[in-house]
A and B are shown apart, each in its own frame.
Chain A
Amino acid sequence: MRVTVTVNDQDYIRDVEPRLLLVHLLRDELGLTGTHWGCDTSNCGACTVWLDRVPVKSCTVLAVMASGSSVRTVEGLERRGGELDQLQVSFALCHGLQCGFCTPGMLMTARWLLDRLPDPSDVEIREAISGQTCRCTGYENIVRSIRHAAESERAAG
């Protein structure tokens, strides 16, 4: 079945089985392995990407359902020219990652949060990432990183 999808501003056309999961389209067909998966039941959120500007768990979306849509993954966070998104900078500065497996999904949700809510409280940050499991950080430095990014972006105007 023909899938036409825009990923990180690049258009792709692929013929796939209807049952192909979006996460596998990204990873196996398009080679975008920055998006991970950690469960089969849409609990862990490692596979979180943007579908039409909204974070979704790509292990529970069929690739064919995304046809005609735009997808943004962690590979699309960097600006052209390699400038990092403020969240990427803040995660590095605040030690917001350890094994790095949950990080892409966390970054995508955090970017969405800050785009809608530039000054989130810690509770709002925690709620936003509550569908995404991290086994390394105890969430503390992820929350700090997101708060740091919010402060930096506000200060930069």
Chain B
Amino acid sequence: MQVPAHFEYQRATSVEDAIALLERYGPESRIVAGGHSLIPMMKLRLAQPELLVDINGLADLGGISLAGDVLRIGAMVRHAELLASVTAGTHFPLLHDAERVIADPVVRNRGTVGGSVCQADPSEDLSAAFTALRATAVIEGSAGVRRVPMREFFHGPYQTAVGPAEVLVELQIPLSNSATLAGSSSAYLKVDRRAGDWAVAAAAAVLRIDRDSVVTEVGIGLTAVGARQFAAVEAEDFLRGRQLTGEHIAEAGDIAAQHCSPVADQRGPVDYKRHLAGELARRALHAAAARADLAIIGRL
């Protein structure tokens, strides 16, 4: 069996303690949460940190709750917990759509929301979901707390705004697109080669429409197709302010496909992934619209 190289291990007693440990040990130290991205990389010796700072015991980083005008999701929330959260599912059905297709149930018992987002794998599902929801990452370092919009969070594959001595504390999702509001909902759709596989491509859609079926707010996230910050900004811009019609959704899908930059791998060639970006964006928008207001389905 593949095994990691040597490292030291410390359990953080608080977020401050974790930050202090990271500062003391420098860039060769890493936070470990669920470990389901990091430990496999360490076994392959693609990652060889000198110190692991375990934040599993930090209750401050847990919990899913409503706080003012946001839903806050602690960085240490396990995937299974988010999937089981009625609050999260009621406000943002796409979170449950996405969680249902992340890895498998046993991995979801251990892997964390914050760990997934910080891994910033181009195929990771929650990145596009939070991007579509316009979530904000709350990051803490010795200088204090920073708030970074998801659309500025990703600095490239496996790179994020979280500094070497910082900790992602939580994600906050504005309730302005809550599915509890009339004309608002969301959906996430993924194509994979098999249950539990990383996405070939996936799309997140968040919609809000007014009484005249005009799109007042829209978020489109794309997974694994090289969309900048996991977002289909051009497609969002196209839809916003337009009537939500089948033609407009189709065109938004085309725009999303045009503006992404997939790379070929064993999951598929570029043309297929580009096609999926459009197809899944369309389908996710339709699904969100159907959830938002069953009455408008006839018009699409």
Query: In the complex, are there CB atoms of A and B closer than 8 Å?
Result: yes
Q: Looking at the complex, which one of A19, A64, A131 makes contact with B6 (CB distance below 8 Å)?
A: A19
Once bound together, how far apart are the Cα atoms of A42 and B106, in whole Å?
9
Shortest CB-to-CB span from B199 to chain A, Å, is: 16
A103 at the interface (CB under 8 A from B): no
Q: Looking at the complex, which one of B39, B44, B54 makes contact with A60 (CB distance below 8 Å)?
A: B39
A134 at the interface (CB under 8 A from B): no
A37 at the interface (CB under 8 A from B): yes
A18 touches B103 (CB 8 A): no
A40 touches B2 (CB 8 A): yes
B107 touches A57 (CB 8 A): yes
B36 at the interface (CB under 8 A from A): yes
A48/B106 contact (C-beta < 8 A), A42-B36, A61-B35, A64-B9 known: yes
B69 at the interface (CB under 8 A from A): no
Chain B contacts for A1, CB-based, 8 A: 9
B1 touches A55 (CB 8 A): no
Q: Is the interface of B mostly helix, strand, loop or mixed?
A: loop
B35 touches A109 (CB 8 A): no
Chain B contacts for A73, CB-based, 8 A: none
Q: Looking at the complex, which one of A37, A40, A55 makes contact with B40 (CB distance below 8 Å)?
A: A40
Digit string of B33-46 for contact with A (CB within 8 Å is 1, else 0)?
00110011011100
Chain A contacts for B6, CB-based, 8 A: 17-19
How many residue pairs link A and B with beta carbons under 8 A? The number is: 85
A130 at the interface (CB under 8 A from B): yes
B110 touches A60 (CB 8 A): yes
Chain B contacts for A24, CB-based, 8 A: 1, 3
A62 touches B104 (CB 8 A): no
Chain B contacts for A10, CB-based, 8 A: none
> Within residues 102 to 137 of chain A, which ones have a CB less than 8 A from any CB in chain B?
109, 127-128, 130-132
Once bound together, how far apart are the Cα atoms of A64 and B105, in whole Å?
23
Which of B5, B52, B104, B196 has most chain A Cβ within 10 Å?
B104
Closest residue of chain A to B197 (Cβ to Cβ) is A43
Once bound together, how far apart are the Cα atoms of A131 and B102, in whole Å?
11
A40 touches B9 (CB 8 A): no
B105 touches A130 (CB 8 A): yes
A131/B9 contact (C-beta < 8 A), A18-B52, A42-B36, A65-B56 known: no
Once bound together, how far apart are the Cα atoms of A124 and B191, in whole Å?
21
Closest residue of chain B to A18 (Cβ to Cβ) is B9
User: Can you give 18 contacting A-B residue pairs, CB < 8 Å?
Assistant: A1-B9, A18-B7, A19-B5, A21-B39, A40-B2, A45-B104, A54-B80, A55-B109, A56-B106, A56-B110, A57-B107, A62-B52, A64-B9, A65-B32, A65-B35, A128-B105, A130-B195, A130-B196
- Identify the A interface with B (CB < 8 A): 1, 17-19, 21, 23-24, 37, 40-43, 45, 48, 51, 54-57, 59-62, 64-65, 109, 127-128, 130-132
| Top 10 closest pairs, chain A to chain B, by CB | A131-B104, A18-B9, A40-B2, A19-B4, A131-B106, A56-B110, A54-B109, A60-B39, A130-B195, A55-B106
- Identify the B interface with A (CB < 8 A): 1-9, 32, 35-36, 39-40, 42-44, 52, 54, 56, 80, 103-107, 109-110, 195-196
List 18 additional contacts besides A21-B1, A130-B195; criterion CB under 8 Å.
A17-B6, A19-B5, A19-B6, A19-B7, A23-B1, A40-B43, A42-B103, A42-B107, A45-B104, A51-B110, A61-B39, A61-B110, A62-B32, A62-B52, A64-B9, A130-B104, A130-B196, A131-B105
